[in-house]
């Protein structure tokens, strides 16, 4: 079901300045089923990787980026599974949303 779609990168852009909400409208299908997970490589390093996905249409994107200051890596994510992320999101989507919404306050 998953397929890469670069339009999903726009979801990250909206969060980069602090954002306002974790859930947004998918640029591919128009449904509000998008999720964002970021992973800072080291606590002192602004660089990391970003995954954005939509569980309505299966669009996703994965890219390296500067991680926003407000983001903290969630402890429940299995870092070993992030490289093959397309097999992973169903099991963590709800927790990822809750985590990001808490961070955004
Ligand atoms: Zn979609």
Cα 11 to ligand 1 centroid, rounded to whole Å: 11
Give residue 89's pLDDT.
73
Q: How far is the CA of 54 from the centre of ligand 1 (A)?
A: 5
Please tell me the distance from the alpha carbon of residue 44 to that of residue 83, in angstroms, as a whole number.
Answer: 22
pTM: 0.84
Q: Is the dihedral of CA 12, 14, 16, 21 positive or negative?
A: negative
44 CA distance to ligand 1 centroid (A)? 33
Number of domains in the chain: 1
**What's the half-sphere exposure (Cβ side, CA atoms, 13 Å) at 68?**
17
Q: Distance from the CA of 56 to the center of ligand 1, in angstroms?
A: 5
User: In the predicted model, is pLDDT for residue 9 greater than 70?
Assistant: yes
Q: Does the structure show a pLDDT above 80 at 22?
A: no
pLDDT recorded at residue 4: 93
Between 87 and 46, name the one with better pLDDT: 46
Compute the distance between CA of residue 43 and CA of residue 27 in angstroms, rounded to an integer.
Answer: 31
Domain that holds residue 97: 3-104
Task: Look at residue 16 and tell me whether its pLDDT is greater than 60.
Answer: no
Q: Would you say 55 and 93 are in contact if contact means Cβ atoms under 8 Å apart?
A: yes
Residue 82 has what pLDDT? 74
Mean pLDDT to the nearest integer, 18-36: 77
């Amino acid at each position: 079901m998953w397929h890469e779609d670069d339009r999903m990168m726009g979801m990250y852009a909206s969060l980069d300045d602090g954002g306002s909400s974790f859930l947004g409208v998918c640029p591919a299908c128009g449904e509000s089923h998008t999720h964002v997970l970021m992973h800072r490589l080291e606590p002192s390093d602004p660089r990391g990787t970003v995954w954005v996905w939509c569980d309505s249409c299966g669009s996703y994107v994965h890219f390296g980026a500067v991680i926003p200051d407000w983001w903290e890596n969630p402890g429940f994510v299995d870092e070993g599974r992030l490289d093959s992320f397309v097999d992973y999101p169903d099991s963590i989507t709800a927790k990822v949303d809750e985590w990001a919404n808490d961070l955004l306050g």
